[in-house]
Structure 1
C-alpha cells in the first residue's frame, strides 16, 4: 500500500487528519506533519523524512502539501529529488486526501497521482453557476438541501 504524508502550514495537516478520520476511519500508513511557527524549515524537512520512512512499506510515498511553493511543498520537493519512489502533489484539498486513503491500495504511485489530480480539480466548483445550470434546465424543480457529512 502506498504511504501518504500530508503537510501544510499551521494546523492544515492535523485538521485534515481529523476530517479524513471522520470520512474514512482510522488509516494505516498515513502521517500528518504541521509546519508551525516554532519550527525551522530544516526541522520540517526532518519530520517529513521521518514520516515518509514510517509510512513506506515499499510501494512508495505520496506527499500531499497545502500550497505550491510553500515550505511544506518545497521541503517535500527536496525529498522527492533525492529519494526513489516518492511523488508530491501541492495544492491538495480534502477530497484528494480522503480519496487517497481509498484509492491507494493496489494502485501504482503515478496512477494514484493522476486519479487524485482529477478528483481534486473536479471538486472545485462555482456553486452559483452549478445551481443556475440546474434551474435553467429544470425551472420547475424544487431543490432540497441535504446536511451532507
Structure 2
C-alpha cells in the first residue's frame, strides 16, 4: 500500500486528519505533519522525512501539501529529489486526501497521482452555476390556484 504524508501550514494537516478519519475511519500508513509558527523549515523537512519513512512499506510515498511554493511543498520537493519512490501533489484538498485513503491500495504511485489530480480538479465547483443548471433542468411543477 502506498504511504501518504499530508502537510501544510499551521493546522492544515491535523485539521485534514480529523476530517479524513471522520470520512474514512482510522488509516494506517498515513501521517499528518503540521508546519507551525515555532518550527523551522529544517525541522519541517526532518519531520517530513521521518513521516515518509514511517509510512513507507516499499510501494512508495505520496506527499499531499497545501500551497504550491509553500514551505511544506518545497521541503517535500527536496525529499522527492533525493529519495526514490516519492511523489508530491501541492494544492491538495479534502476530496483528494480522503480519496487517497481509498485509492492507494493495488495501484502505482503515478496512477494514484493521476487519479487524485482528477478528483481534486473535479471537486472544485461553482455552486451558483450548479444551482442554476439544476433549476433549468428541473421539471416544472404545475400550481393550482386556491384550495
Interval of TM-score (by shorter of Structure 1 and Structure 2): over 0.9
- In 2, the alpha carbon distance for the partners of 1:105 and 1:139 equals 42
Match of 1:146 in 2: none
Unpaired runs of 5+ in structure 1? 142-149
Q: Which residue of 1 aligns with 2:29?
A: 29
Normalized against structure 1, the TM-score is what?
0.93
Q: 2:107 aligns to what?
A: 107
- Which residues in structure 2 correspond to 1:43-58 (within 5 Å)? 43-58=43-58
Instruction: Give the number of aligned pairs.
Output: 141
Backbone CA RMSD of aligned residues? 0.8
Please show how residues 126-145 of structure 1 align to structure 2 within 5 Å: 126-138=126-138, 140=140
CA drift at 1:139: 5.2
1:92 and 2:68 matched: no
Name 1:38's counterpart in structure 2: 38
2:9 pairs with 1:5: no
TM-score when normalising by structure 2: 0.94
Runs of 4+ in structure 1 deviating by more than 6 angstroms, as ranges, are none
The residue correspondences of 1:111-130 to structure 2 (distance < 5 A) are 111-130=111-130
